[in-house]
Structure 1
Amino acid sequence: MQLEIYSLTALKDQISVSLEAICDSYSSLLWDIEFYQCGCFEVYIAASPQNVSIFQRGRIVARSDDAQHFGIIESLQLETDAEKGDYLTVTGRFLACLLERRIIYPTITANGSYEDIVRKVLSRNAISAGIRNLPGFSMGTMSGNCWQKTARMQVSYDNILEWLYNLCETIGGSANVRLDGNALKCDLFSGTDRSLLQDDNPHIVFSDAYNNLLSFSYAADDAVQKNFAYVLGCGEGSARKRTTFCSGTEPTYLDRYEVYVDERNTAQEEDVTDAEYLEILKSSGAEHLVQPKTASESAIAAFSTQYQYNKDYFVGDYVTVEQKRFGLIQPRIQLIGMVESFDQNGRSLTPTFKETE
């Protein structure tokens, strides 16, 4: 597997991308794909004048076997040592990090599908925004029913990258920016259910019984849970607009964990009815709900004959994880991150899982 290093040049609203070098002699590579946040990478390579000239900040690092994820070099660290040798550490994040350079300005009130809301926010702040444009940036493909759900919301001054991934986590979707020739495409998508709780797709089960679960740890904490929101908007005293929000059946008694959401700065515009304004407040309430905290860390077989990563399953998919020795089973758990590591010991996979409702 080779690394491809590209130069990225902005020409007003367009970009020019050209291949500068191909590298296959690195000491180690970490390729961290995340579903609800921007992924990152790290290349550890022997330092030489040639490598220092190749790996420059602002250049793009791609893998010859990955057409979806492209990293942009953000940090370089050069270390020289007479005994251990000279090494260069190259780190950065995937191209979605470019959205961190923009905020949502001015206030946007949006009503429609989540896909339409994202398109509106990106259009006004990165695509059709004059000198605020991200050169070469446009919307790409969309897949997943979660993006067709509707909402009404008001957003302002949020960092776009943070806002986008917070929205993704709320609805269960994800976003990725990829390189497509001399263009940057933002794709919206969702994971596929491959757990034992469905029969539409082949089941993916990681288990000590199948020898594809090398290690397993699990912890749960209810203390951070918030499942019922009281949301107060504009106005003063008893005249303040207010509503509540919960997901599904309203929790009661000991199952109820309440949170207060202050949205006094969310103004009700003249063309927004009371009912529409309350829907905006409910959307804010949804963003403040917190599921019970769980930690599930595992190491899975990188060369399993049963399932191959990025062929049989992908980051964002729902799978089943079980530790039969202790009678623990997570019948439907989402794979929200995967660190793929290459070094002198070979290839390893370190997944991150998140329980869902």
Structure 2
Amino acid sequence: MQLEIYSLTALKGQISVSLEAICDSYSSLLWDIEFYQCGCFEVYIAASPQNVSIFQRGRIVARSDDAQHFGIIESLQLETDTEKGDYLTVTGRFLACLLERRIIYPTITANGSYEDIVRKVLSCNAISAGIRNLPGFSMGTVSGDCWQNTARMQVSYDNILEWLYSLCETIGGSANVRLDGNALKCDLFSGTDRSLLQDENPHIVFSDAYNNLLSFSYAADDAVQKNFAYVLGCCGEGNARKRTTFCSGAEPTYLDRYEVYVDERNTTQEEDVTDAEYLEILKSSGAEHLVQPKTASESAIAAFSTQYQYNKDYFVGDYVTMEQKRFGLIQPRIQLIGMVESFDQNGRSLTPTFKEME
């Protein structure tokens, strides 16, 4: 597997991308794909005048076997040692990090599908925004039912990258920016259910019984949970202040109820927004403040399993089944929200991150 290094040049509203070098002699590579946040990478390579000239900040690092994820170099660290040798550490994040350079300005009130809301935010701040445009940036493909669900929301001054991934986590989708020739495409998508709780797709089960689960740890914590929101808006004072509540599904009761207060004093009601529509905006904010019980599940899975191959049979974002039969523990539907691929002198390893679903 080779690394391809490209130069990236902005030319007003467009970009120019050209291949600068191909590298296959690095000491180690970490390739961290995340579903609910921007992924990152690290290249550890022997330092030489040639490598220092190749790996420059602002350049793009791509893998010859990955057409979806492209990293942009953000940090370089050169270390010299007469005994251990000279090494260069190259780090950065994937191209979605470009959205971190913009905030949502001015206030946007949107009503429609989540796809339409994202399109409006990106258009007003990165695509059709004059000198605020991200050169060569546009919307790409959209897949997944979650992006067609509807909402009404008001958002202002949030960092776009943080806002987008927060929205993704709320609705269960994800976003990725990829290089497509001399263009940057922002794709919206969702994971595929491959767990035992469905029969449309082949089942993916990681288990000590199948010898594809090398190690496993699990912890759960209810203390951080918030499942019922009281949301107060901007209009009125005291009891006259506009307010609503929000919960997901049936209203929790008694010891199962974990409440949170959400102050939306800065969420204004515009003249063309009815009271009912304004309350829907407040409900959307309430949904963003709900917190699921905290779970931590760390595992090491077989990188060269004959049963399932990563990025062929399953992908980051998919729902799978995890079981530790020795202790009678099963997680029938758990989401793979991150995967770190590591390449070094010991070969390839996979370190997944899972998130338990309700």
Which TM-score applies when normalising by structure 1?
A: 1.00
1:170 is paired with a residue of what secondary structure?
helix
Q: Spell out, residue by residue over 1:96-124, the C-alpha distance to the aligned partner (whole angstroms, 9 max, x if none).
A: 00000000000000000000000000000
| Alpha-carbon distance in structure 2 between the residues aligned to 1:235 and 1:47 | 64
| Alpha-carbon distance in structure 1 between the residues aligned to 2:16 and 2:240 | 55
Alignment gaps of 5+ in structure 1: none
Task: Find the counterpart in structure 1 of residue 149 from structure 2.
Answer: 149
**Deviation at 1:264?**
0.7
Runs of 4+ in 1 over 6 A off after TM superposition: none
| Alpha-carbon distance in structure 2 between the residues aligned to 1:119 and 1:355 | 30
Q: Spell out, residue by residue over 1:8-45, the C-alpha distance to the aligned partner (whole angstroms, 9 max, x if none).
A: 00001100000000000000000000000000000000
Pairing 1:221-240 to 2, within 5 Å after superposition:
221-233=221-233, 234-240=235-241
Contact 1:235 1:264 in 2 (8 A): no
| Alpha-carbon distance in structure 2 between the residues aligned to 1:349 and 1:227 | 33
| Alpha-carbon distance in structure 2 between the residues aligned to 1:237 and 1:103 | 32
Q: Spell out, residue by residue over 1:116-175, the C-alpha distance to the aligned partner (whole angstroms, 9 max, x if none).
A: 000000000000000000000000000000000000000000000000000000000000
% identity of equivalent residues: 96
| Alpha-carbon distance in structure 2 between the residues aligned to 1:292 and 1:139 | 34
| Alpha-carbon distance in structure 1 between the residues aligned to 2:198 and 2:175 | 25
**Deviation at 1:76?**
0.1
Contact 1:319 1:333 in 2 (8 A): yes
Q: Spell out, residue by residue over 1:287-328, the C-alpha distance to the aligned partner (whole angstroms, 9 max, x if none).
A: 000000000000000000000000000000000000000000
| Alpha-carbon distance in structure 1 between the residues aligned to 2:356 and 2:236 | 38
2:32 is paired with a residue of what secondary structure?
strand
| Alpha-carbon distance in structure 2 between the residues aligned to 1:93 and 1:240 | 43
Alignment gaps of 5+ in structure 2: none
**Deviation at 1:236?**
1.5
Q: Spell out, residue by residue over 1:200-222, the C-alpha distance to the aligned partner (whole angstroms, 9 max, x if none).
A: 00000000000000000000000
**Deviation at 1:239?**
1.6
**Deviation at 1:235?**
2.4
| Alpha-carbon distance in structure 2 between the residues aligned to 1:64 and 1:57 | 20
Contact 1:14 1:136 in 2 (8 A): yes
Task: Find the counterpart in structure 2 of residue 334 from structure 1.
Answer: 335
| Alpha-carbon distance in structure 1 between the residues aligned to 2:236 and 2:271 | 14
| Alpha-carbon distance in structure 2 between the residues aligned to 1:80 and 1:284 | 51
| Alpha-carbon distance in structure 2 between the residues aligned to 1:240 and 1:342 | 57
| Alpha-carbon distance in structure 1 between the residues aligned to 2:202 and 2:117 | 33
Pairing 1:141-290 to 2, within 5 Å after superposition:
141-233=141-233, 234-290=235-291
| Alpha-carbon distance in structure 2 between the residues aligned to 1:101 and 1:239 | 39
| Alpha-carbon distance in structure 2 between the residues aligned to 1:140 and 1:307 | 29
Contact 1:33 1:337 in 2 (8 A): yes
1:44 is paired with a residue of what secondary structure?
strand
**Deviation at 1:176?**
0.1
| Alpha-carbon distance in structure 2 between the residues aligned to 1:277 and 1:239 | 15
| Alpha-carbon distance in structure 1 between the residues aligned to 2:201 and 2:331 | 18
2:290 is paired with a residue of what secondary structure?
coil
| Alpha-carbon distance in structure 2 between the residues aligned to 1:187 and 1:294 | 29
| Alpha-carbon distance in structure 1 between the residues aligned to 2:352 and 2:187 | 23
Q: Spell out, residue by residue over 1:72-104, the C-alpha distance to the aligned partner (whole angstroms, 9 max, x if none).
A: 000000000000000000000000000000000
Task: Find the counterpart in structure 2 of residue 305 from structure 1.
Answer: 306
**Deviation at 1:275?**
0.2
**Deviation at 1:356?**
1.1
| Alpha-carbon distance in structure 2 between the residues aligned to 1:241 and 1:54 | 58
1:307 is paired with a residue of what secondary structure?
coil
| Alpha-carbon distance in structure 2 between the residues aligned to 1:51 and 1:268 | 56
**Deviation at 1:182?**
0.1
Instruction: Work out the number of aligned pairs and report it.
Output: 357
| Alpha-carbon distance in structure 1 between the residues aligned to 2:38 and 2:156 | 21
| Alpha-carbon distance in structure 2 between the residues aligned to 1:259 and 1:241 | 17
**Deviation at 1:237?**
1.3
Q: Spell out, residue by residue over 1:213-254, the C-alpha distance to the aligned partner (whole angstroms, 9 max, x if none).
A: 000000000000000000000322122110000000000000
| Alpha-carbon distance in structure 2 between the residues aligned to 1:145 and 1:132 | 31
Q: Spell out, residue by residue over 1:247-283, the C-alpha distance to the aligned partner (whole angstroms, 9 max, x if none).
A: 0000000000000000011000000000000000000
* RMSD (Å), alpha carbons: 0.3
2:262 is paired with a residue of what secondary structure?
strand
2:310 is paired with a residue of what secondary structure?
coil
| Alpha-carbon distance in structure 2 between the residues aligned to 1:169 and 1:73 | 26
Contact 1:220 1:295 in 2 (8 A): yes
1:25 is paired with a residue of what secondary structure?
coil
Contact 1:33 1:338 in 2 (8 A): yes
